[in-house]
Amino acid sequence: MKRPALVAALAVLVVLLGTVDTRSHGVIPDGQQMLSSATALAHGLGIGVSRDMPSAAPRAEDAASRYGMGTSLVEAVFVVLARGLWAASPGASTASLLVLFPILCLSGVAGAVARSAERLSLPPALAFGAGAATVLATPLWGYAGSDYGEPLQALLLALLVLVFLGPPSPRRTFLVGLVSGLAVLAKSVLLLAVLPFAVSCALVKPVKPVKPVNSQLRALAAGLAGPLLLWLAFELVRFGKPFGGYPGEDFSYPFITGLLRLTLLPNKGILWYAPVLLLAPFGLRALIAARRQDALPILGSIAAVFGTAASWWAWDGQAAWGPRLVLTAVPALTLATAYVLRGSPRITVLAAVLVALGICVNAVGALVPFPQVYALATLAAPQPIGDGAAQGTRYEIFRAQDGALVATGPHHLSLSSGWAPLRVASALLAGKLRGRSGAELLAPLRELDPPFAVSLPEDATPSVRAALAPWHWPYVGRAPEPSFDPYARALRDQAVRALERKRPAVASRLLAPVLATPFAGPEDVAIAAEAALTEGRRDEALRILATHAADAHPWLLFLRVGLGDSSQVPAEYRAGFEASVRDARSRGLLVTEWAREARNRPR
């Protein structure tokens, strides 16, 4: 096989394009923060997000995404493309465009691992298999349609291993520094994962040095300088200090418990989602014996990823397929697994079986995206949980009125074997393939222990509607929802930010393309009308409100009551609602600020 890296990347690209479900892109708050920040960059509005973003870092006039800026920086390119898409075809779904970002990252992972395998002198067929299996036989496949940062992070770690395995030279050392710095820019905690490679380049002399060691140090520093300075600038602008994105969050989970849950236990254990990695320890041992200088930094990086994730308070990665927080180590683990297969037909057959099993497992995660499963779990009533399973967990677990220890539905997905995500997603997929949908699809889940009993609301979220929709394939080009678009959602967030920063003209400009699409909702209409009022354009505000004349959304009612029209407010609530509007306006509150104050008011 010629050019196995290119073939592996193209093969993965074709599979991902054929299986990605765009309906799950843009629905996770983490991703919404990063996309809103990318939208700000693409529109020349800085890097901030609105105060409406859950868990965003507050600032003087707005808030900031607390996640690595690397994803937002790259995503800004796709936002520019989304702007062009809407200019050519207003109302087209941008989700099908935006998912190209994680898809291309994962295809790059496959190519980088295959090329690294070649540098380890593995045969072309084995190199191709290692690259393709890294994505398709592991949980990484389930992130092709996601808006998390893991695809980019995994790509950067895969590229770091690739350049590290290159011939020793100042150029190679410079590239190790550059990619290491970019990885930190993508996620601050990856500093610990890239450190072994940087230390190796800085302190360990090559077998045949072509330059003095101090030349290596200069090359490493030159590569690191740009990304790390950019990272530091973003940290200071957003949080006022380095590593300031997670105040109050720490490494407090019991380490051994976390490590077991990330490796062996069924809910999030990597070996359940990527069975071929059972061979990784043997591959690492063989690699250390044959190429110790290359193997030790790889082993150190893997240990850093698992060590930090195992003790992190939210070790499970929450709304994530498999152990999300250790997926950056998967390329190195798969490469080590491939190394043990060289010249061993018997082990190669075993590995092929394990790869096939991993492909079957992760096809479920691709065809039933985990955000949909998670959204269903949020609708399930809290269920009892044992003290042992709950040990070390400090959120989403509490005592019921009868004194019983209970956990929320989402947390049972991480802790209770009866709700193992693979089991729940497989049941949903099996039901869809039998032609079931809606409430009928959920019936088998009530037989789980504890029962997965969901109370469906009348106004379900896009993720819930997607989870209960009938089977339909292919996914390529499908709009996630007729009423939802990730770019439209990001534009709304930036319009809120602009409005509250006393820039109503910018808010109007941002929302203009949204209002021309089917994705415009009552919040968009209300923000646009508020912007017009702020600029003194009362007639324009009335015209905008008239486009949703029959909608009684609270934001629209706030604007109408402020303009003297209380007719759509129910009579029994009218006096109180009018008083609330008068009070808000007397204090100079915008509709967005009034709504936020109401949400945050103690109940």
- Domain-embedded: residue 490: no
DSSP code of residue 49? E
The CA-to-CA distance between both ends of the chain, in Å, stands at: 65
Please give the structure tokens belonging to residue 370. Answer: 């985990």
- Domain-embedded: residue 441: yes
pLDDT band at 480 (very low <50, low <70, confident <90, very high): very low
Other beta carbons less than 10 A from residue 426's beta carbon? 16
pLDDT of 209 > 70? The answer is: no
Helices (H), 120-254: 124-136, 150-164, 170-186, 191-203, 213-239
Count CA within 13 A, CB hemisphere, residue 73: 14
pLDDT in tens, 63-113: 999 999 999 999 999 999 999 999 999 889 899 999 999 999 999 999 999
Its domain, for residue 457, covers: 370-468
pLDDT of 358 > 80? The answer is: yes
pLDDT in tens, 14-45: 999 999 998 889 999 999 999 999 999 999 99
pLDDT at 484: 87
Low-confidence winner among 167-171, 288-292, 586-590 (lowest mean pLDDT):
167-171
Low-confidence winner among 119-123, 194-198, 291-295, 388-392 (lowest mean pLDDT):
388-392
pLDDT of 206 > 60? The answer is: no
533 burial level (CB within 10 Å; 0-12, 13-18, 19+): buried
Angstrom distance (rounded) from CA 302 to CA 108: 20
Provide CB contacts within 8 A for 457, sequence distance 6+: 379, 464
pLDDT at 488: 96
- Domain-embedded: residue 52: no
Cα dihedral value 49, 51, 54, 58, nearest 10: 90
- Domain-embedded: residue 267: no
Angstrom distance (rounded) from CA 130 to CA 246: 35
Place of tokens 């859950």: 54
Helices (H), 401-537: 409-415, 421-433, 438-442, 462-468, 486-500, 504-515, 522-534
What percent of the chain has a predicted confidence (pLDDT) above 70?
96
Q: In the sheet that 383-384 helps form, which strands lie side by side, from edge to edge?
A: 383-384, 405-407, 397-399
Question: What number is the average pLDDT over the span 479-488?
Answer: 74
> Maximum Cα–Cα distance for the chain, whole Å?
86
pLDDT at 213: 57
Secondary element (H or E) of residue 31: helix 29-42
pLDDT at 489: 96
pLDDT of 59 > 50? The answer is: yes
pLDDT at 389: 82
Please give the structure tokens belonging to residue 52. Answer: 């409406």
What percent of the chain has a predicted confidence (pLDDT) above 90?
82
pLDDT band at 208 (very low <50, low <70, confident <90, very high): low
Count of domains forming the chain:
2
Angstrom distance (rounded) from CA 270 to CA 148: 18
Mean pLDDT of the chain: 93
- Domain-embedded: residue 351: no
Last-in-domain residue among 435, 453, 468: 468
Count CA within 13 A, CB hemisphere, residue 376: 27
Please give the structure tokens belonging to residue 330. Answer: 């998967």
**Separation in Å, CA 424 to CA 198, 335, 357:** 42, 30, 18
Sign of CA dihedral 186, 188, 190, 195: positive
> What is the chain's Cα-based Rg?
26
Contact at 8 Å (CB) between 154 and 105?
A: yes
Contact at 8 Å (CB) between 83 and 40?
A: no
**Separation in Å, CA 50 to CA 35, 65, 239, 493, 555:** 12, 9, 15, 6, 17
- Domain-embedded: residue 147: no
Provide CB contacts within 8 A for 531, sequence distance 6+: 495, 499, 504, 505, 507, 508, 511
pLDDT of 367 > 50? The answer is: yes
DSSP code of residue 139? G
pTM of the model: 0.95
- Domain-embedded: residue 432: yes
Question: What number is the average pLDDT over the span 540-553?
Answer: 93
pLDDT at 342: 87
pLDDT of 204 > 80? The answer is: no
pLDDT in tens, 550-569: 899 999 999 999 999 999 99
Last-in-domain residue among 238, 262, 296: 238
Last-in-domain residue among 211, 238, 265: 238
pLDDT at 387: 84
- Domain-embedded: residue 26: no
